[in-house]
């Protein structure tokens, strides 16, 4: 089965070329519809094509076609291809700012609508994503971490990510008035990730399946009930082969290397039963309360309650409150791939699957304002608090030149989030949205106590402006943001730039702005756009951490303190982009419907 899927991935680029060729020929597409469906159907095939290019040499192609095959059947075919021609090293640190990459994607979905209101949606998606970054000349086949005390092999990373997904959703009415429905959904995802970092590698193969069956009954205008069962299964097959430099010599070779080799196969599964009751009192009050009981293969029974209430004391005001519990298994390495972009050794539970357990409480107040005319105006204030009863902690600060993986096990971890949003269409064609978020995210680290979670932005403010002329012939979009500071790791406080200046003396990153602009000109069958990203030109200075080579002044990747994962700001400066979207309609009638 695995070899069969890999053959599909190998065929994907060729399939993309075939797709673009077929979709670029409406006549051929229409002829295929005739051959397939005969003369008793009507075909309407809107075709959308988009091509874009960026000043960093990134080029993208997207294509989609929606076919109305009959009154009951519809299908959508879509594909994408994205890649860059070359890479840049604008900051002169010897590493690519962005990796070379090539992405192919292909999807096909089908929709069926029955005479009795039954609906079926099913489809498949495939993705092939390859990237290579680091230093020019890196070769994973020949790279060796220790060929001598001053090995100068180019260090890099190479990642090949392939996935295939199949899904189905069904809704079957059980009563003529649609007050009772049975729904079923299921999906299967196969993921194959092969990744190399210097001499280290992490190879992962994952099969994930999820399904749920639910019965939804509306007894009256005020009362409704939903109940059902769900199941989840995940199989992980991973191979870790990590070799990095260390202050501690390897006992077998006597070289200052940290070596970790393992092969693990893990099965994770859960089975749940859920029920949810909903109450409505006209447009004034809506309340939903639910409870889910889940049995986890490794962790036993867990109960997850949920409560959502929306109250409208007046027509212009809406008050929402919510509370609930969330449970999920976390993949220690797959969910924290940045740890591979370091020369640090791993310690602790970096191969265990923690069942993270969190509780969220929050609410929002929205007031609709009598402003403008082009779109509704409102101001919204909100707050949410997430408290973790169990969580995987990835700690860069516990052990020198090492990354520690451990669970909370009674320690504290929580996040308080405050946000405010204002949106209004002040006059015809003009819309404004302003938002501000403040986050207080804290975690109790081993041996450190409760601290601000590192590398997490404290606040962010955004302003989005949009103006469109009559009939949207011209569209102007402006997006500006101010990004707040985040606490850096303690070992970063002594990091200096090439001139010897401390970069994070106060322990926080600087506040920085971003500005993006796009102008779009619309024609009857096409949109042409041009824009710029990060027009302020701000870039993070000195991304690489570690000791500098005295001869070159650059950070060497051949050391245990090397770290390329501490990215908190833009890596590239200003980037200009341009593109075009074409939408074509092919209306044909073959016989009578």
pLDDT score recorded for residue 547: 87
Distances, alpha carbon 359 to alpha carbons 114, 303, 385, 386, 499, in Å: 41, 12, 8, 6, 47
Q: Work out the pLDDT band at 372, boundaries 50, 70, 90.
A: low
- Write the CB contacts of 98 (distance below 8 Å, at least 6 apart in sequence): 56, 84, 87, 88, 133, 571, 572
Taken as a whole, the chain contains a residue count of 593
pLDDT score recorded for residue 207: 98
**Interval 495-514 mean pLDDT:** 90
Quick one: tokens of 84? 């860059």
Q: Could you say which DSSP state residue 486 is in?
A: B
**Rounded to whole angstroms, how far apart are CA atoms 462 and 440?**
18
- CA angle in degrees (0–180, nearest 5) for 133-137-143: 90
The pLDDT tens digits for 532-556 are 999 999 999 889 999 888 778 889 9
Chain-centre distance for alpha carbon 45: 31
**Interval 459-471 mean pLDDT:** 96
Buried b (16+ CB within 10 A) or exposed e, 72-104: eebeebbbbbbbbeebeeebebbbbbbbbbeeb
Distances, alpha carbon 322 to alpha carbons 325, 439, 507, in Å: 11, 19, 35
List phi, psi (to 5°) of 40.
-105, 20
**Interval 56-81 mean pLDDT:** 95
The pLDDT tens digits for 164-218 are 999 999 999 998 888 899 999 999 999 999 999 999 999 999 999 999 999 999 9
Global confidence as pTM = 0.88
Q: Strand pairing partners for 420?
A: 381, 436
DSSP 486-497: BBPPGGGGG-B-
pLDDT score recorded for residue 550: 78
**Rounded to whole angstroms, how far apart are CA atoms 589 and 593?**
8
Instruction: Check residue 207 and give left, alpha or beta (phi > 0: left; psi -120 to 50: alpha).
Output: beta
Q: Work out the pLDDT band at 23, boundaries 50, 70, 90.
A: very low
- Write the CB contacts of 523 (distance below 8 Å, at least 6 apart in sequence): none
- CA angle in degrees (0–180, nearest 5) for 554-558-561: 85
Q: Could you say which DSSP state residue 88 is in?
A: -
Distances, alpha carbon 413 to alpha carbons 64, 355, 388, 392, 445, in Å: 44, 15, 5, 10, 9
Judge whether residue 319 has pLDDT over 90.
yes
**Rounded to whole angstroms, how far apart are CA atoms 75 and 266?**
37
The pLDDT tens digits for 75-106 are 999 999 999 999 999 888 999 999 999 999 99
Distances, alpha carbon 328 to alpha carbons 166, 266, 361, in Å: 22, 15, 18
pLDDT score recorded for residue 496: 85
List phi, psi (to 5°) of 14.
-65, -40
Residue whose structure tokens are 């997904």: 165
Q: How far apart are the first and last CA of the chain?
A: 42
Q: Work out the pLDDT band at 154, boundaries 50, 70, 90.
A: very high
Quick one: tokens of 40? 């008793």
3-state class of 145 per DSSP? Answer: coil
Residue whose structure tokens are 């049995």: 295
pLDDT score recorded for residue 22: 35
Exposure of 57 by Cβ count < 10 A (0-12 exposed, 13-18 middle, 19+ buried)?
A: middle
Closest of 157, 187, 153 to residue 169, by C-alpha: 187
Which has more pLDDT, 45 or 486?
A: 486
């Amino acid at each position: 089965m695995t070899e069969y899927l890999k053959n599909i991935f190998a065929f994907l680029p060729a399939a993309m070329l075939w797709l673009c060729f077929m979709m670029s020929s409406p006549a051929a597409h229409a002829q295929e519809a005739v051959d397939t469906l005969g003369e008793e159907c009507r075909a309407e095939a809107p075709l959308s094509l988009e091509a874009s290019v960026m000043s960093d040499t990134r080029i993208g192609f997207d294509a989609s076609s929606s076919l109305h095959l009959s009154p009951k059947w519809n299908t959508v075919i879509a594909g994408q291809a994205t890649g860059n021609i070359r890479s840049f090293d604008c900051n002169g640190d010897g590493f690519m700012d962005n990796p070379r990459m090539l992405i192919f994607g292909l999807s096909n979905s089908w929709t069926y609508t029955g005479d009795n209101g039954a609906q079926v949606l099913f489809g498949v998606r495939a993705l092939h994503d390859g990237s290579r970054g680091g230093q020019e000349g890196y070769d994973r086949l020949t790279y060796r971490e220790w060929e001598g005390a001053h090995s100068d092999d180019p260090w890099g990373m190479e990642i090949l990510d392939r996935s295939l997904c199949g899904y189905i959703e069904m809704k079957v009415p059980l009563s003529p008035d649609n007050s009772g429905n049975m729904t079923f959904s299921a999906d299967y995802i196969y993921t194959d990730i092969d990744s190399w970092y210097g001499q280290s590698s992490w190879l992962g193969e994952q099969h994930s399946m999820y399904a749920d069956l639910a019965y939804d009954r509306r007894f009256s205008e005020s009362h409704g009930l939903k109940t059902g069962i769900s199941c989840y299964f995940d199989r992980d097959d991973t191979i870790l082969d990590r070799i990095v430099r260390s202050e501690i010599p390897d006992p077998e070779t006597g070289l200052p290397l940290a070596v970790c080799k393992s092969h693990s196969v893990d099965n994770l599964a859960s089975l749940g039963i859920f029920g949810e009751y909903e109450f409505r009192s006209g447009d004034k009050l809506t309340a939903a309360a639910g409870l889910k009981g889940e049995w986890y293969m490794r962790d036993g029974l867990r109960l997850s309650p949920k409560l959502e209430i929306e109250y409208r004391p007046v027509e212009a005001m809406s008050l929402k409150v919510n509370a609930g519990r969330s449970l999920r298994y976390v993949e220690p390495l797959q969910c924290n791939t940045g740890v591979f972009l370091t020369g640090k050794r791993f310690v602790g539970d970096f191969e265990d699957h923690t069942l993270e357990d969190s509780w969220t409480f929050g609410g929002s107040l929205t007031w609709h304002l009598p402003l403008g005319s082009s779109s509704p105006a409102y101001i919204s204030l909100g707050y949410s608090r997430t408290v973790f009863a169990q969580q995987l902690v990835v700690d860069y600060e516990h052990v020198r030149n090492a990354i520690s993986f451990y669970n909370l096990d009674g320690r504290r971890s929580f996040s308080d989030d405050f946000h405010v949003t204002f949106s209004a269409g002040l006059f015809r064609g003009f819309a404004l949205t302003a938002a501000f978020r403040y986050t207080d995210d804290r975690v109790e680290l081993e041996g450190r106590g409760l601290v601000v979670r590192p590398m997490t932005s404290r606040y962010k403010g955004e302003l989005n402006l949009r103006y469109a002329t009559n009939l949207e012939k011209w569209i102007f979009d402006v997006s500006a943001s101010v990004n707040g500071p985040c606490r850096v790791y303690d070992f970063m406080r002594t990091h200096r730039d090439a001139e010897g200046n401390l970069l994070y003396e106060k322990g926080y990153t600087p506040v920085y702005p971003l500005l993006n602009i796009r102008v779009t000109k619309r024609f009857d069958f096409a949109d042409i756009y041009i824009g710029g990203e990060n027009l302020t030109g701000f870039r993070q200075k000195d991304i690489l951490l570690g000791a500098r080579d005295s001869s070159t002044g650059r950070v060497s990747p051949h050391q245990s303190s090397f770290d390329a994962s501490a990215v908190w700001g833009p890596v590239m400066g200003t980037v200009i982009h341009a593109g075009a979207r074409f939408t074509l309609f092919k209306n044909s009638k073959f016989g009578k419907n």
